[in-house]
Amino acid sequence: MTREDILEELKKVLAHYTPDKETLNSIGPETDFVNDLKINSANMVDIIIEAEERYDIEIDMDSAEKIHNIGSCVDVILEKINEKK
Amino acid sequence: MSKRVVVTGLGVVAPNGVGVPAFLNAIENGVSGLKFMPHFRELNFNCQVCGIPDFQFDDLKNYLSEVAFHGLRGSTIGYAIKAAADAWMDAGNAINTGEIHWETGCVFGNSLADMEIMKRVITHVDMKQSRKLGSKVVEQLMNSGATANITGLLGIGNRVITNSAACATGSQAILMGYEYIKSGTAKRMLVGSNEYIDSYVFSAFDAMRILGRKFNDEPEKASRPMSATACGFVPGSGAAALVLEDLDFALARNATIYAEILGGATNSGGQKKGGSMTAPNSEGVIRCIDAALANAAIDPADIDLISGHLTATMADKMEIENWSKALNRRGEDFPLINSLKSMIGHCLSAAGSIESVAVILQLMHQFVHPNINLEDPNPEITDIVSVNALPTKKVNKEINIAAKANFGFGDVNACLIFSKFKK
């Protein structure tokens, strides 16, 4: 599983939560969920739950707090996938 | 000159018709929306018949953004969104514009928040999986869930209220909207109510043994208001919404005007003098009707049509007697009276708004819809009013003023007076 694979999967999840489809098409590690993608911060928990289901991982609350932008989100997902191995 | 309040938009999700054209056709032709529920038979309910709108949840994608639609599950909120957005667009407005309408408010009511969502919460918690519930549960569990979705979609910025008064909820919501315009608080109000009767809510009424259980194999005959064979009410689900406007505001934007609200009243019988948690005190009902007439400044003789509460229980006879006393009209002098519940059952909180939409359509198109399943009127009722007042077929007739009332658990009454719009 590469960072690119996860980024592509993440885009599909984020499509349900961002009103800004243009920004979604050009996201990178620095893209901020709330400021750039205009995602309601309350929905961050839903994005985390969907990521958990897709990768069969568990993102505990301490790890979730590290997620600020696309880059840190991919980091946490990768970390949890690797922990599983 | 005192402000006049008119109706400029209608939306309806009813068991016998979703959308105004389908609903109008159904009420003109006496089409029943009641269906046999195989699931209710499996659950050993006494009554196995229910009114369910032919509503496709995915239809909401035509109204809501992808972000708003994702995670929305509750039927009760779905009905409300469709009815409200349809009414708003019917009045000539657009949805999802980004505008805020500071002059427009909303009163929308329901009996309880979405039971489907509540079940989801209970199941998750019992399986120790509450952390998987996500963020969109609270907004669908809260009683103001429907109102919150509607006001966000339409950009409503004036007074926003979620009301609840059992079966009087819908009529009360309309009355409150009327009053806010009348007082100058708002220029325009989106009003209405919604209800979804799932098997859990249904079971609570079934347990009270007040539902019609004798026509499970002939569902369209199960709701029989005013008949000698009335044997209890049949629950129904749905929603309806109305756009109310200050007449000058409506005229200034060249809105089409469907009808006028002349006035109304709501009160309680105090659960005294024969009134209880579940039955109305007749004195309270009569006072409510009289107060509505006085508020509308009309004479009882001016009423051409009564849209009754008339649920098909023993209370029908008492209701007829109360109308007769309040209007001081009986026998051949009693106005035409009908009960939409004969076709759609009792939609509880949604009843008042769906039935009001039916009243407005009758005023607009100048007819009186039939009471179906009334081949055998209750003799105790025909002792009070002429059988001619109980139409069993559509009547084409000049209808200028109609009274609509609903009575709810808790001994709450609400009565509205509508009229055909005349400049």
pLDDT tens, A36-61?
999 999 999 999 999 999 999 999 99
For residue A2, give how far its alpha carbon lies from the nearest alpha carbon of chain B (Å): 26
**Pairwise CA distance, residues B353 & B169, whole Å:** 8
Most confident of A7-21, B130-144, B324-338: B324-338
CB B334 within 8 A of CB B386: yes
Asked if the C-beta of B65 comes within 8 angstroms of chain A's C-beta atoms, the answer is yes
Asked if the C-beta of A19 comes within 8 angstroms of chain B's C-beta atoms, the answer is yes
- CA B172 → CA B156, B267, B336, B396, B412, distances in Å? 20, 10, 23, 29, 10
Residues of chain B numbered 211-240 and touching chain A (CB < 8 Å): none
Inter-chain residue contact B135 with A17, CB threshold 8 Å: no
The pLDDT of residue B114 is 85
Residues of chain B numbered 364-383 and touching chain A (CB < 8 Å): none
pLDDT exceeds cutoff 80 at B422: yes
Q: Using one digit for the tens of pLDDT, what is the confidence trace for B90-99?
A: 999 999 999 9
Average pLDDT score, chain B? 97
Handedness of CA B309, B314, B318, B324 (dihedral sign): positive
Chain B residue with CA closest to A59: the answer is B131
Asked if the C-beta of A42 comes within 8 angstroms of chain B's C-beta atoms, the answer is yes
Inter-chain residue contact A45 with B135, CB threshold 8 Å: yes
Instruction: Supply the range of the domain harboring residue A36.
Output: 3-84
The pLDDT of residue A85 is 77
Chain A residue with CA closest to B64: the answer is A19
The pLDDT of residue B335 is 98
pTM score above 0.90: yes
Question: Considering the domain B265-420, what is its CATH architecture?
Answer: 3-Layer(aba) Sandwich (3.40)
Residue A45: which of B65, B66, B134 has the nearest Cβ?
B134
CB B348 within 8 A of CB B407: no
Instruction: Residue A16: list chain B partners with CB under 8 A.
Output: 66-67, 70-71
pLDDT exceeds cutoff 70 at B1: no
Strand partners, B156: B101
CB B259 within 8 A of CB B421: yes
**Pairwise CA distance, residues B225 & B238, whole Å:** 19
Chain B residue with CA closest to A14: the answer is B67
Interface test with A, best of B64, B65, B66, B67 (most A CBs within 10 A): B67
The pLDDT of residue B168 is 98
Asked if the domains B5-259 and B265-420 are classified in one and the same CATH topology, the answer is yes
For residue A15, give how far its alpha carbon lies from the nearest alpha carbon of chain B (Å): 8
Q: Using one digit for the tens of pLDDT, what is the confidence trace for B223-266?
A: 999 999 999 999 999 999 999 999 999 999 999 999 999 999 99
Q: Which two tokens stand for residue A39?
A: 């995602």
Q: Could you confirm whether domain B5-259 is CATH 3.40.47.10? A: yes
Determine how many CB atoms are found less than 10 A away from the CB of residue B387: 13
Q: Using one digit for the tens of pLDDT, what is the confidence trace for B115-151?
A: 889 999 999 999 999 999 999 999 999 999 999 999 9
Domain of A18, CATH number, reads: 1.10.1200.10
**Pairwise CA distance, residues B385 & B387, whole Å:** 6
Domain residue extents for chain B: 5-259, 265-420
For residue B139, give how far its alpha carbon lies from the nearest alpha carbon of chain A (Å): 11
Q: Which two tokens stand for residue B273?
A: 């003098």
For residue B135, give how far its alpha carbon lies from the nearest alpha carbon of chain A (Å): 6
In the predicted model, what is the mean pLDDT of residues B399-423?
97
Q: Using one digit for the tens of pLDDT, what is the confidence trace for B166-224?
A: 999 999 999 999 999 999 999 999 999 999 999 999 999 999 999 999 999 999 999 99
- CA B328 → CA B55, B168, B298, B377, B380, distances in Å? 42, 24, 14, 21, 18
State the pLDDT confidence band at B113, using cuts at 50, 70 and 90: confident
Q: Using one digit for the tens of pLDDT, what is the confidence trace for B6-39?
A: 999 999 999 999 999 999 999 999 999 999 999 9
Domain count, chain A: 1
Chain B residue with CA closest to A19: the answer is B67
Inter-chain residue contact B67 with A18, CB threshold 8 Å: yes
In the predicted model, what is the mean pLDDT of residues A7-13?
93
Inter-chain residue contact B135 with A18, CB threshold 8 Å: no
For residue A2, what is the DSSP state? -
Inter-chain residue contact B134 with A16, CB threshold 8 Å: no
The pLDDT of residue B2 is 74
Q: Which helix or strand (DSSP H or E) is residue B321 part of? A: helix B315-327
Strand partners, B365: none
For residue B151, give how far its alpha carbon lies from the nearest alpha carbon of chain A (Å): 18
CB B266 within 8 A of CB B168: yes
Residues in chain A: 85
Inter-chain residue contact B134 with A18, CB threshold 8 Å: no
Interface test with B, best of A40, A41, A46, A50 (most B CBs within 10 A): A46
The pLDDT of residue B153 is 97
For residue A52, give how far its alpha carbon lies from the nearest alpha carbon of chain B (Å): 10
CB B316 within 8 A of CB B324: no
